Amino acid sequence: MNDAAMVLEVRGARKSFGYVRALRGVDLALHEGEILALLGDNGAGKSTLIKAVSGVHPLDEGEIFVGGERASIKSSADARGMGIETVYQDLAMFDNLDVPANFFVGREPTRPSKLGSLGFLRERQMVQTWKERAASLGISIPNPRQTIGLMSGGQRQSVAVARAIAFADRVVILDEPTAALGLRESAQVLELVRKLPDHGVSVLLISHNMEHVQRVAHRAVVLRQGEVVGEAVPSPDTHEALVQMIMGAQGVNGEPQLRSTSKRGK
C-alpha cells in the first residue's frame, strides 16, 4: 500500500475556532487507490480536517499536497478544480428531479453550445450516460426517470456518490455515507464505495460505524482532540484497539501504540 503514490497529503494542519483548537498539527496521507477511514469521536477534528481539504474552511497553518504538488485550497471550487469532491451527510439531492437530472445538475450537456445555459438539454444523452455509469458502478435503479424524492435512501446516496466520482478524478470524501440508512441500504452503498478505487479515485471515509469501516477501508486513522493518535488496518482483530484509541483509553498521555500495524498493507 505504501508503495503507491500519494494522492493527497496534509502536513502539520492547525486550525482554531476562537479558543477551540480543532486541529493541533495533523499529518495525513492518502495513497492512490486507497480507502482511508477517518475515525474519531464527535469533536475530534474529523469534520474540520475534511472541510479544510474540501475548501470550506481554510487551515490556519499547514500544507496540503495534491498529487505531490503543493495546493492552495481556498474554496470548494478550488478543491473541485483539483479533482476532490465531497459527499455530505445531508445529501445534496433535488427531490423534484429525476436521477439523470440529479447526476448532471449544474453541468448539464446542452446544444447548441453557442446558446450556453439557454441551450437545450440533451436529455437522451443524459439518460444514456447515467445508465452506463450505473451499470459500471453496479447501481440498480429500475426507473431512473422517476423523481428522486420517491426513492429509498440507499438509492439516493448511490446517486450522490456516483455524481461525486463522475466529476472527481482524484479524491472523494464521504462524510458518514451510511448514517441515515438501514442495513440493506448501507450494504448497497458500501458495495459501491468498495468499487471506487477501480474507477481511479481514492476515498476518504468518515464513519462512526466500525463494522462498515472494517468492510471497506484499507486503513483507518484515529483523531482525538485534534491530533492523530494512531492508525491500524481495520479488522475484527484491531477493532478493540481502534475503539480504545477513539475513546482515549489506550496509551497514557495519548501515546499511540498501534502505529506499526499500517505496515502490514492489505
Partner 1 sequence: MKTESPEGERGETTPSKPRGASEPDTRLVERRGGDWPLVAALRLIQFGPGVILAALLLVMSVLSPFFLTGENLQNLGTQSAIVAALALGQLLVIIARGIDASMAAVLAFAAVFPAALLDDPSRHGAIFIGLALATGLAAGVLNGGLIVLGRIPQPLIVTLATLGIVGGVSLVVSGGRQVIGLPPVLSSTLANDTVGPVPAQVVVLLIVAGCMYMFLAKSRWGRWIYAIGGNPEAASRLGIPVGRVTFSVYVLSGVCAAVAGLFFAAQTNAAVPTAGNAYLLDAITAVVIGGASLFGGRGTVMGALVGALILGTIRNGLSLLNVEPFWQTVAIGCVVLVALELDVLRGMLENRLRVSRATEH
Q: Which residues bind partner 1 (CB under 8 A)?
A: 76-77, 92-97, 101, 105-108, 110, 117-121, 135, 138, 140, 142, 149-155, 182-185, 187-188, 191
Q: How far is the CB of 245 from partner 1 (least distance, A)?
A: 27
Q: How far is the CB of 81 from partner 1 (least distance, A)?
A: 11
Q: Report the residue number, 68 or 138, with the smaller CB distance to partner 1.
A: 138
The total number of residues shown for the chain amounts to 266
3-class DSSP state of 264: helix
Q: How far is the CB of 90 from partner 1 (least distance, A)?
A: 9
Q: Report the residue number, 129 or 152, with the smaller CB distance to partner 1.
A: 152
Cell of 133: 455509469
Q: How far is the CB of 19 from partner 1 (least distance, A)?
A: 29
Q: Report the residue number, 13 or 189, with the smaller CB distance to partner 1.
A: 189
Q: How far is the CB of 105 from partner 1 (least distance, A)?
A: 6
Distance of alpha carbon 8 from the chain centroid:
12
Q: Report the residue number, 119 or 197, with the smaller CB distance to partner 1.
A: 119
- For 106, other C-beta atoms within 10 Å of its C-beta total 6
Cβ–Cβ under 8 Å, residues 58 and 16: no
Q: How far is the CB of 139 from partner 1 (least distance, A)?
A: 9
Which residue in 155, 153, 136, 154 sits closest to 144, CA to CA? 155
Q: Report the residue number, 184 or 263, with the smaller CB distance to partner 1.
A: 184
Strands 69-71 and 61-66: antiparallel
For residues 140 and 128, what is the distance between their CA atoms, to the nearest angstrom?
15
3-class DSSP state of 88: coil
Full DSSP string of 158-220: HHHHHHHHHH-SSEEEEESTTTT--HHHHHHHHHHHHHGGGGT-EEEEE-S-HHHHHHH-SEE
Residue located via cell numbers 447515467: 130
Q: Report the residue number, 31 or 156, with the smaller CB distance to partner 1.
A: 156
